[in-house]
């Protein structure tokens, strides 16, 4: 069963069209919602939560219509918004427990799960500190704990690495990956950073100008044209000449050879050329486009 399904979803804010007929499916696992700032990502999250109604089209979240079953949908969703402003004078544990209670958990369970969630995000020792005394990275993790504590079926994370330094960012992305894989919670990660999506997500929905320009499994989208990428330990030009002589079309990119065409034919030719020239092969892999290539191709 898909987690979120949108059909020709439209949303306008005054004269601005935020979403113009977005059709997409978000499957189980970790899905990236990718787009430049203003592409409609936050608007889409708001629609998924049932905070606003679409001007056209329909949306199904966890099998329910968020416009008519908003409270039931939101009960099963954890949401960490983009901003990191939280009440400064409230202790992290009190805040997470309160939000777990608001999501329907009885007090005793909310208390226990708030502690668990704060331990999971690495703030176990800091859980009784006021949020206002915490760093940006810690506040981001408090938000994540608050979104996690009530055991949601779906976690919506809006730019969760905003304001984090590289180390904190790595740690946050590891945590998100763990939530999707070990905790068994489906995650939608909204971000404008390609490398984050590429690192963490199984699937991606790419938004541009309010439209879904590409969607699907990351591996499928990146596969692109057939071919191989070969890294060698030796004379690149000699190898390139040999392969061209064997009828292959290729480009040289530093120590790499990017070969077009059927992968099995190319692989055989590379093996034969390497043996003939006595050149070592460092890496032979299927030709994959980067997410940036996919994004640029889709957006254009």
Kindly list the residues in this chain that would bind another protein in the complex (CB under 8 A).
13, 18, 42-43, 45-46, 49, 51-52, 70-72, 74-75, 77, 79, 81, 83, 85-91, 94, 98-99, 101-106, 109, 113, 116, 120, 146, 150-151, 156, 182-184
DSSP 64: B
Q: For residue 16, what are the β-bridge partners?
A: 13
Residue 193: CB minimum distance to another protein, A: 19
Residue among 13 and 235 whose Cβ is closer to another protein: 13
* Residues 59, 257: Cα–Cα separation, whole Å: 45
Q: For residue 11, what are the β-bridge partners?
A: 19
Q: In the β-sheet with 256-260, what is the strand arrangement from edge to edge?
A: 250-253, 256-260, 227-233, 280-286
DSSP 91: B
Residue among 46 and 160 whose Cβ is closer to another protein: 46
Residue among 139 and 169 whose Cβ is closer to another protein: 139
DSSP 90: S
Residue 240: CB minimum distance to another protein, A: 51
Neighbouring CB atoms inside 10 A of 58's CB total: 12
Residue 183: CB minimum distance to another protein, A: 4
Q: Decide if 20 contacts 127 (C-beta within 8 A).
A: no
Residue 71: CB minimum distance to another protein, A: 4
223: its two tokens: 């596969």
| Helix pair 166-181, 136-148: axis angle to 10 deg | 10
Backbone phi, psi, residue 33, to 5°: -110, 105
Residue 74: CB minimum distance to another protein, A: 6
Residue among 53 and 271 whose Cβ is closer to another protein: 53
Residue among 185 and 206 whose Cβ is closer to another protein: 185
């Amino acid at each position: 069963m898909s987690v979120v399904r949108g059909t020709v979803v439209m949303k306008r804010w005054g004269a601005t069209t935020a979403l113009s007929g977005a059709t997409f499916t978000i499957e189980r696992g970790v899905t990236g919602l990718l787009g430049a700032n203003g592409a409609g990502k936050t608007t889409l999250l708001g629609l998924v939560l049932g905070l606003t109604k679409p001007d056209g089209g329909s949306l199904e979240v966890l099998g329910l219509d968020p416009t008519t079953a908003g409270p039931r949908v939101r009960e099963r969703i954890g949401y960490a918004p983009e901003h990191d402003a939280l009440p400064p004078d409230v202790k992290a544990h009190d805040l997470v427990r309160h939000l777990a209670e608001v999501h329907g958990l009885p007090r005793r369970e909310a208390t226990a799960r708030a502690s668990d969630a704060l331990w999971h995000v690495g703030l176990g020792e800091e859980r009784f500190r006021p949020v206002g005394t915490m760093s940006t990275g810690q506040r981001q993790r408090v938000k994540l704990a608050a979104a996690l504590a009530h055991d949601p079926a779906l976690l919506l994370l809006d730019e969760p690495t905003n304001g984090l330094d590289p180390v904190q960012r790595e740690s946050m992305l590891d945590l998100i990956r763990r939530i999707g894989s070990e905790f068994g919670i489906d995650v939608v990660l909204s971000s404008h950073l390609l490398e984050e999506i590429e690192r963490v997500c199984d699937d991606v929905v790419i938004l541009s100008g309010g439209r879904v320009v590409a969607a699907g499994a990351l591996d499928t989208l990146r596969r692109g044209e057939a071919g191989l990428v070969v890294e060698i330990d030796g004379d690149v030009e000699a190898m390139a000449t040999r392969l061209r002589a064997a009828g292959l079309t290729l480009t040289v990119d530093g120590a790499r050879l990017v070969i077009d065409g059927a992968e099995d034919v190319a692989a055989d030719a590379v093996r034969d050329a390497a043996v003939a020239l006595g050149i070592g092969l460092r890496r032979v892999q299927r030709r994959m486009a980067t997410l940036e290539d996919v994004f640029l191709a889709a957006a254009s």
